């Protein structure tokens, strides 16, 4: 078990961020059999393009940098906030100094694939950074870009939920809600999934929390150049992974309010805006707005402004209706 000491100042500086590059790396690891297996439908859809990219681009060089426990920092740079885009990540990857990249090559490229002559030619070249970056960019556009708006909406909704938990119950409850293997004890975070005991001090820098749609467990980045980071499974990914398909469209609720409105009611386990719901459920924003208005008129939802967004949440009547639908 590893312990992370957290001060009051650390809590004040802790924040959330999104990382498109990190989720791309996790997706690539899954497709390569190094991470949590993808749902069958996802694997069937993406595997042909993935295998073609391995043949036609330098993607194998990027994959060779991943070990069973970790991967190189430069292909998944630390995100700066919730507005992080793939373009931001790609610019940071391309800006990596060659010597820094080569240091990571030496540290991470230790598996059997690193000895492949084609992979070695890329890693030993003077334009290795740009070649790996180009392969990652092609992988992004062919494997993840189409689904990213929906997946990003899931992560954004997770952050809205966590911020609400912080406001209502505080940081200790929020941290413990990230995963069963995490506990808050005596002013620190205990990470039960680490095999060896060690204490890490944040020293006033705060903790970076990143929801992910592809991480299967908690991942921790506790070494430079990253800030001290916890990557955790975003709420709402169970449907993506096919773990709650029988719950998403209960017959009784669907019969009562209709399939689309039932989906919206069930999706509002955390407050969300019209645009978030539209992206996460792959529905037209106008249709979502119309259904939300009807559900609100029936007393099943209320809405409130949060910054620039209007967030909808279930009323007690809506909660009772959803609770009785399973």
- pLDDT tens-digit series, residues 102-120: 998 888 887 778 888 999 9
282/239 Cα distance (integer angstroms): 13
105 in Cβ contact with 128 (< 8 Å): yes
Structure-block tokens of residue 299: 């007393």
The most confident of the ranges 1-15, 67-81, 243-257 is 1-15
Structure-block tokens of residue 109: 């490229």
Evaluate if residue 63 carries a pLDDT over 80.
yes
Structure-block tokens of residue 48: 């042909």
Structure-block tokens of residue 56: 């036609």
pLDDT of residue 221: 84
Least confident of 25-29, 114-118, 141-145, 234-238: 234-238
Evaluate if residue 320 carries a pLDDT over 80.
no
Average pLDDT, the chain: 86
Reference 214, options 71, 38, 50; nearest CA is 38
């Amino acid at each position: 078990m590893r312990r992370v000491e957290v001060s009051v100042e650390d809590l004040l500086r802790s924040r959330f961020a999104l990382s498109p590059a990190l989720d791309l790396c996790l997706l690539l690891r899954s497709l390569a059999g190094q991470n949590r297996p993808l749902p069958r439908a996802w694997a069937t859809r993406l595997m042909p393009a993935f295998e073609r990219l391995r043949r036609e681009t330098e993607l194998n060089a990027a994959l060779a940098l991943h070990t069973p426990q970790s991967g190189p920092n430069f292909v998944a740079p630390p995100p700066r906030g919730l507005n992080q885009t793939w373009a931001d990540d790609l610019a940071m990857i391309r800006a990596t100094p060659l010597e820094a990249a080569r240091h990571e090559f030496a540290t991470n490229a230790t598996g059997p694939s690193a000895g492949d002559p084609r992979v070695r030619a890329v890693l030993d070249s003077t334009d290795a950074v740009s070649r790996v970056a180009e392969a990652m960019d092609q992988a992004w556009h062919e494997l993840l870009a189409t689904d990213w708006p929906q997946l990003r909406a899931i992560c954004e909704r997770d952050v809205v939920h966590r911020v609400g938990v912080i406001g209502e119950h505080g940081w200790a409850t929020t941290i413990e809600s990230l995963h069963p293997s995490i506990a808050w004890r005596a002013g620190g975070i205990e990470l039960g999934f680490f095999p060896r005991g060690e204490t890490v001090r944040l020293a006033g820098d705060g903790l970076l929390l990143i929801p992910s749609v592809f991480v299967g467990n908690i991942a921790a980045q506790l070494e430079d150049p990253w800030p001290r980071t916890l990557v955790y499974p975003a709420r709402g990914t169970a449907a993506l992974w096919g773990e709650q398909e029988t719950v998403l469209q209960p017959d009784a609720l669907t019969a009562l309010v209709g399939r689309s409105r039932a989906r919206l009611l069930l999706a509002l386990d955390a407050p969300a805006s019209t645009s978030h719901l539209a992206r996460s459920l792959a529905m037209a924003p106008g249709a979502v707005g119309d259904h939300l208005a009807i559900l609100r008129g029936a007393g099943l939802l209320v809405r409130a402004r949060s910054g620039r967004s209007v967030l909808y949440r279930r009323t007690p009547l809506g909660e009772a209706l959803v609770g009785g639908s399973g």
